[in-house]
Structures are given as structure tokens and as C-alpha cells.
């Protein structure tokens, strides 16, 4: 059982994380092939006259949109992971593990491939967000129903079904690239995760998606707390479990699909971040969801900074960095879960 945290300590933790968030925002914006002092970053953020116009332009037009986009994508993926873990009542579920990200990527690659090689095709197949969302939902429900045994969904079966769906859609993506598109190098790099295409337009639209994710989680936080106790207990408390499942699967699939369209496939954020947030806040989703968003944003933007600076002039795919951190944590969580079942 987690220790009870006093109100004063909670406020101190919130202030500490706010300061940490500001520090990492300045740090990730200042680091790059061109090192920029914190003072210049701060002046750009506070609209003060720049000492170096070149640094000012780099910050506002290149660095800051990318850092903010990383924060927003990481926050959204972390909240999506939290919602999935609450719904399925295990800390090992996330959009990547359940194949949702792979399904969304397949929808995008398929749509672009059809767009570039065929003409007599319904216009609906050229809609990237719609195709991404459709296949993300297909992947999510496929993983869930493959693993479902009557009224129960065993954790191990769910993970195995997610692996199967992942392999299936990854194979479909490879086939679509080779057969329809043939732009293998750039497509493969994007599929491994990248924020190199960041812009203020993407930041604005992603901010809306992040706001929807956090608001959705907070609105249903009480029901999520109830369903975490078990489906029967939640029903006894008046929760429409089947409707809640449907809403969460649709919302998470839509948000994940949009994240994939912006940043490619970035794994493990929705897996390890919600678990870390719960270690700080406890099981209450009204607290863990905002903390998941905060930690997810810090984690992904920092991973992106490592990807674009540590191996310069080569930029490492973002998904590679998150996997190097997330895979060992996932193995630890899986073995811990196996020991308790």
C-alpha cells in the first residue's frame, strides 16, 4: 500500500514538478547543433528583444515548436496509456503494446501509397486522419477480442494478442511501402518516430488533442477509479462499463492515430509513464492523469533532445531512444506482474 501523502507535501511536489518542467523546457530548447544560452531562450519565451537575432530565429522557428510538439505528443500518449491501463486493470497495457500505433501507421502508409499509385479510388481513402483512426480502432478491438475469454481479459493473453496484431500490421505496412510506395528509406525513418517536421500549426492542433485527452480523463476519473476495482463492483456503483469501454477505445484510438500521424510510432511512453505517475500520486485517476501528462511531456521531449543532439550530425529515430529506456522497464513490470499472479 502506498503511503498517505499530506496536502502540504502534495503542493510541494506540484511546485517542484512545475519548476522541473520549466527547466527542461529551457534545457531542451537550448541544446542542439547550435548551443544557445539559457538567457537567450528565456528572452525569446518572454518576448524580450534578442541579443542575437540568429539565436532568436532558431528558437522561435525551429527549436521551440519541436520541443512543444514533443511535450504535447508525450502528454497525449501517456494519458492514453493511463486510460487503457485503467480500463483493462493492468499496468502493462498501452496503445503501442495493443497494436493501436501499428494499425494507425498502416492506415497512413496505405493511404499515401494509394494516393501515389492509383487514381480511380474513392476519395475517402485519401483522408489520412480517417484512415489512421479506422485502422487504429481495428487494431485495438482486434487485440481486445482475441484475448477476451467470456467476461475476462487475461493480461498475458492481451499482451500476446497485441504482439500478434503488431506483427500483422507491421507486415502490412512493409508490404504497402514496397508494393505501393517504394519510398522505403524516408518512410522507415518516419515510422521509427521523428519530430523533425514540427511546426506551429502542428503544435496548435496537437495542443487541442492533448487538451481533449486530459479533459476526457478528468471527466471520467471517478468512473475509472470504480472500474479499477473490477467490472462487477463498477456496475454495482452505477457505472455503465460497456459504454465506458466503448468511449475509451474510440477516444484513445483517435488520439493515438493523430499522434502517429504527427510523430510516427513512438513506443513505451504510454506504458512506463502512467505507472511512474501512479507511484507518485497513488491510484486516483484525477491526480494520476495530469501527472501522466506532465511526465510524458518531459520524457518524450527529453528523448527527442537526446535523439537530435547526442549523435550529431546524425539524428537518431525518436522511437529508438524511447525503446532503449522503455524496454527494460517493460520487462521489469512484466516479470513483477507474473510473480504476483
Cα–Cα distance, 222 to 204 (Å, whole number):
29
1 falls within a domain: no
What lies within 8 Å, CB to CB, of 49 at 6+ separation is: 43
What pLDDT is stored for residue 2 in this prediction?
42
Cα–Cα distance, 199 to 283 (Å, whole number):
36
What lies within 8 Å, CB to CB, of 341 at 6+ separation is: 155
101 falls within a domain: yes
Count CB neighbours of 127 within 10 A.
15
Cα–Cα distance, 65 to 109 (Å, whole number):
25
Q: What is the DSSP letter of 152?
A: B
Cα–Cα distance, 293 to 127 (Å, whole number):
28
What's the domain range around 300? 7-339
Are the C-beta atoms of 52 and 290 separated by less than 8 Å? no
13 falls within a domain: yes
What pLDDT is stored for residue 5 in this prediction?
55
| Cα three-residue angle 297-330-274, rounded to 5 degrees | 35
Instruction: Give the CATH number for residue 218.
Output: 1.10.3470.10
Cα–Cα distance, 166 to 139 (Å, whole number):
8
What is the tally of structural domains in the chain? 1
Q: Is 203 helix (H, G, I), strand (E, B) or coil?
A: helix
Cα–Cα distance, 117 to 220 (Å, whole number):
44
Tens-digit pLDDT string for the chain (341 aa) = 444 456 677 678 778 878 888 888 999 999 888 888 888 888 888 888 777 888 888 999 999 999 999 999 999 999 999 998 888 887 777 888 788 889 999 988 888 777 654 444 454 455 677 888 889 989 988 888 888 777 666 667 777 888 899 999 999 998 888 887 656 666 777 788 889 889 999 999 999 999 999 999 999 999 999 988 887 888 888 888 888 888 888 899 889 999 998 998 898 899 889 988 888 888 899 999 999 999 999 999 999 999 999 887 888 899 999 989 888 877 776 676 666 65
Q: What count of Cα atoms within 13 Å lies in the side-chain half-sphere of residue 301?
A: 32
2 falls within a domain: no
Q: Which residues of 202-216 are buried (b: 16+ CB within 10 A; e: fewer)?
A: bbebbbebbebbbeb
Are the C-beta atoms of 278 and 333 separated by less than 8 Å? no
Q: What is the DSSP letter of 6?
A: P
Cα–Cα distance, 166 to 127 (Å, whole number):
23
Are the C-beta atoms of 195 and 319 separated by less than 8 Å? no
Reading the block at residue 53, the C-alpha cell is 537575432
> Which residues lie across from 152 on neighbouring strands?
149
| Cα three-residue angle 28-218-64, rounded to 5 degrees | 20
Q: If residue 231 lies in a helix (H) or strand (E), which one and from where to where?
A: helix 231-236
Amino acid at each position: 500500500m502506498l503511503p498517505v501523502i499530506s496536502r502540504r507535501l502534495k503542493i510541494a511536489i506540484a511546485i517542484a514538478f512545475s519548476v522541473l518542467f520549466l527547466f527542461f523546457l529551457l534545457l531542451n530548447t537550448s541544446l542542439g547543433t547550435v548551443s544557445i544560452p539559457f538567457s537567450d531562450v528565456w528572452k525569446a519565451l518572454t518576448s524580450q528583444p534578442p541579443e542575437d537575432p540568429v539565436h532568436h530565429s532558431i528558437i522561435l522557428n525551429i527549436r521551440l515548436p519541436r520541443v512543444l510538439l514533443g511535450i504535447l505528443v508525450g502528454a497525449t500518449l501517456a494519458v492514453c496509456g493511463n486510460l487503457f491501463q485503467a480500463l483493462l486493470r493492468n499496468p502493462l497495457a498501452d496503445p503501442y503494446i495493443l497494436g493501436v500505433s501499428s494499425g494507425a501507421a498502416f492506415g497512413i502508409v496505405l493511404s499515401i501509397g494509394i494516393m501515389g499509385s492509383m487514381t480511380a479510388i474513392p476519395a475517402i481513402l485519401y483522408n489520412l486522419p480517417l484512415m489512421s483512426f479506422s485502422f487504429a480502432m481495428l487494431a485495438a478491438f482486434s487485440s481486445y477480442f482475441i484475448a477476451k475469454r467470456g467476461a475476462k481479459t487475461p493480461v498475458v493473453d492481451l499482451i500476446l494478442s497485441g504482439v500478434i496484431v503488431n506483427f500483422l500490421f507491421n507486415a502490412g505496412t512493409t508490404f504497402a511501402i514496397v508494393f505501393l510506395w517504394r519510398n522505403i528509406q524516408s518512410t522507415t525513418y518516419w515510422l521509427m518516430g521523428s519530430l523533425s517536421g514540427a511546426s506551429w500549426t502542428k503544435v496548435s492542433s496537437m495542443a487541442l488533442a492533448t487538451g481533449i485527452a486530459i479533459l476526457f480523463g478528468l471527466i471520467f476519473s471517478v468512473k475509472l477509479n470504480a472500474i479499477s476495482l473490477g467490472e462487477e463492483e463498477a456496475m454495482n456503483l452505477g457505472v455503465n462499463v460497456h459504454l465506458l469501454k466503448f468511449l475509451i477505445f474510440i477516444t484513445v484510438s483517435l488520439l493515438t492515430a493523430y499522434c502517429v500521424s504527427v510523430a510516427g510510432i513512438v513506443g513505451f511512453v504510454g506504458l512506463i509513464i502512467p505507472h511512474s505517475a501512479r507511484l507518485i500520486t497513488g491510484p486516483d485517476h484525477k491526480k494520476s492523469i495530469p501527472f501522466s501528462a506532465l511526465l510524458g511531456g518531459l520524457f518524450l521531449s527529453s528523448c527527442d533532445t537526446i535523439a537530435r543532439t547526442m549523435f550529431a550530425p546524425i539524428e537518431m529515430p525518436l522511437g529508438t531512444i524511447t525503446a532503449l529506456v522503455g524496454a527494460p522497464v517493460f520487462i521489469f513490470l512484466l516479470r513483477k506482474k507474473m510473480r504476483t499472479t
